[in-house]
């Protein structure tokens, strides 16, 4: 594995079996359906897709909060899906998740100082005093006053809570941070502050990020490369700016056509592609290309043949029988 790849997922599948239907029937939900991905050291890899596409499930698998059903995840050259709990422990410190909801992810009965200190206590790094010194440092790092340490989460705004969540994620000096919609629950005015903080931290601490969002506008601004997910699969992967300028997959085009800034009067005119309906139920996947019921350019072939993710000469990867905006 070339050493510029920090995280590599190969054919990651995650299914949930739901029991308790009529006559004891069960339903199999394939939330992640064969994802390959490579995250390079030091980059921000964005993952975008509508709600229900499997982004959070993939994130939980990548940090091993959930076991994969099949496939492998290599972190720094080691397949972490087969490690024992004990062997995983030192590696887990390097892989941290920042959650979407800064309200739900912080224990309301613990002080924010304790919340940030907990991962260090659990991992027994340093003495009591060393841990509290480090918590103070982390508060400063994320732009919070140290005097707030003994307060409780409800005393903070959404943006401040997300700073606390970020401080907690950094407490064990990770090399990779997976941020699952870290600004989606925040007011628009606060989103940019948190994104700027994350960018500063990335530079200062040489972090690698996987940044998940449902809005391609946000993802493009923070990402070097982007993977577009639909119904548990990567349908397009490429350089963030290139993908934004020349989307090849109709789903990427559709996501772009709802990014507000592109519809400003100054922005280049884009054909608006409207897709109707919601992401289908992953336990009842459409035949052929799973996007076909919503795709504005689908043909009969799309209903029967499943496109695979192919790499074009430009390096772009796309899973579509009729890629759009090809230059030749
Ligand atoms: N623990 C679970 N049990 C059953 N189904 C689940 C579970 N977690 C997620 N799912 C299903 O998997 C699909 C993908 O969900 P999720 O990963 O949360 O998507 P996203 O983060 O893109 O919104 C959804 O259909 C969701 O209902
Ligand atoms: S394969 Fe067909 S249905 Fe799927 S995205 Fe391409 S054109 Fe649309
Ligand atoms: Mg999610």
What was the pLDDT predicted at 276?
Answer: 77
Please tell me if the CB atom of residue 54 comes closer than 6 angstroms to any atom of ligand 1. Answer: yes
| pLDDT, the chain, mean | 92
Confidence of residue 257 (pLDDT cuts 50, 70, 90): confident
User: Which atom of ligand 1 is nearest to 66's Cα?
Assistant: 1
Rounded to whole angstroms, the Cα distance separating 211 from 81 reads 21
Is residue 169 within 8 A of residue 98, CB to CB? The reply is yes
Pair of tokens at residue 301: 């072939």
Confidence of residue 14 (pLDDT cuts 50, 70, 90): very high
What was the pLDDT predicted at 270?
Answer: 63
Rounded to whole angstroms, the Cα distance separating 295 from 51 reads 17
The closest residue, in CA terms, to atom 5 on ligand 1 is 16
User: Which atom of ligand 1 is nearest to 279's Cα?
Assistant: 25
pLDDT in tens, 99-154: 988 888 899 999 999 999 999 999 999 999 999 999 999 999 999 999 999 999 99
The closest residue, in CA terms, to atom 7 on ligand 2 is 298
pLDDT of 296 above 70: yes
User: Which atom of ligand 2 is nearest to 235's Cα?
Assistant: 5
SS3 letters for 244-293?
Answer: HHCCCCHHHHHHHHCCHHHHCCCCCCCCCCCCCCCCCCCCCCCCCCCCHH
The closest residue, in CA terms, to atom 6 on ligand 2 is 320
Q: What percent of the chain has pLDDT over 90?
A: 78
State in Å: Cα 100 to ligand 1 middle.
14
Q: Ligand 1 pocket test: which of 31, 49, 100 has the largest number of ligand atoms within 8 Å of its C-beta?
A: 31
What was the pLDDT predicted at 100?
Answer: 86
State in Å: Cα 57 to ligand 1 middle.
6
Ligand lying closest to the C-alpha of residue 279: 1
Confidence of residue 267 (pLDDT cuts 50, 70, 90): low
Q: What percent of the chain has pLDDT over 70?
A: 94
Ligand lying closest to the C-alpha of residue 35: 1
Confidence of residue 189 (pLDDT cuts 50, 70, 90): confident
| Domain locations along the chain | 5-94+174-318
What was the pLDDT predicted at 278?
Answer: 82
Q: Is domain 5-94+174-318 in CATH 3.40.50.300, yes or no? A: yes
Confidence of residue 279 (pLDDT cuts 50, 70, 90): confident
Confidence of residue 26 (pLDDT cuts 50, 70, 90): confident
Phi, psi of 93 (to 5 degrees): -60, -30
Please tell me if the CB atom of residue 220 comes closer than 6 angstroms to any atom of ligand 1. Answer: no
Structure-token match 């005097």, residue found: 147
pLDDT of 260 above 80: no
Pair of tokens at residue 11: 């054919």
pLDDT in tens, 315-328: 999 999 999 998 75
Please tell me if the CB atom of residue 57 comes closer than 6 angstroms to any atom of ligand 1. Answer: yes
What was the pLDDT predicted at 105?
Answer: 87
What was the pLDDT predicted at 164?
Answer: 96
State in Å: Cα 281 to ligand 3 middle.
15
Task: Name the residue among 275, 224, 268, 221 with its Cα closest to residue 246.
Answer: 268
State in Å: Cα 10 to ligand 3 middle.
21
pLDDT in tens, 45-54: 999 999 999 9
Rounded to whole angstroms, the Cα distance separating 251 from 318 reads 11
pLDDT of 269 above 70: no
Higher-confidence position of 259 and 185: 185
Ligand lying closest to the C-alpha of residue 14: 1
- State the average pLDDT over residues 235-242: 96
The residues with which 210 forms a beta bridge, in sequence order, are 45, 178
Is residue 96 within 8 A of residue 176, CB to CB? The reply is yes
Q: Ligand 1 pocket test: which of 19, 26, 29 has the largest number of ligand atoms within 8 Å of its C-beta?
A: 29
């Amino acid at each position: 594995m070339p050493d510029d790849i920090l995280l590599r997922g190969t054919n990651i599948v995650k299914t949930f079996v739901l029991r308790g239907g009529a006559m004891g029937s069960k339903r199999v939900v394939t939330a992640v359906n064969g994802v390959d991905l490579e995250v390079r050291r030091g980059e921000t890899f964005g993952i975008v897709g509508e709600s229900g596409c499997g982004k959070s499930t993939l994130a939980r698998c990548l940090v091993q909060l959930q076991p994969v059903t099949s496939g492998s995840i290599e972190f720094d050259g080691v397949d972490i899906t087969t490690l024992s709990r004990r062997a995983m422990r030192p590696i887990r410190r390097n892989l941290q998740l920042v959650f979407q909801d800064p309200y739900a992810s912080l224990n309301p009965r613990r002080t924010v100082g304790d919340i940030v200190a907990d991962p260090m206590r659990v991992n027994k790094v340093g003495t009591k005093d060393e841990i509290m010194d480090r918590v103070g440092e982390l508060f400063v790092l994320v732009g919070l006053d140290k005097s707030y340490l003994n307060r409780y989460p409800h005393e903070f705004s959404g943006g401040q809570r997300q700073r606390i969540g970020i401080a907690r994620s950094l407490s064990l000096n990770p090399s990779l941070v997976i941020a699952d919609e870290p600004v989606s629950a925040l007011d628009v005015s606060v989103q940019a502050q948190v994104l700027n903080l994350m960018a500063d931290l990335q530079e200062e601490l040489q972090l690698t990020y996987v940044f998940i969002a449902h809005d391609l506008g946000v993802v493009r601004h923070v990402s070097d490369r982007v993977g577009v997910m639909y119904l548990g699969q990567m349908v397009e992967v490429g350089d963030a700016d290139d993908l934004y300028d020349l989307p090849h997959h109709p789903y990427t085009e559709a996501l772009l056509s709802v990014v507000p800034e592109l519809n400003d009067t100054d922005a280049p005119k884009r054909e608006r592609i409207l897709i109707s309906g919601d992401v289908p139920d992953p336990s009842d996947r459409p035949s052929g290309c799973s996007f076909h019921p919503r795709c504005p350019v689908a043909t009969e072939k799309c209903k029967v043949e499943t496109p695979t993710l192919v790499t074009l000469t430009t390096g772009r990867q796309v899973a579509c029988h009729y890629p759009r905006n090809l230059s030749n």
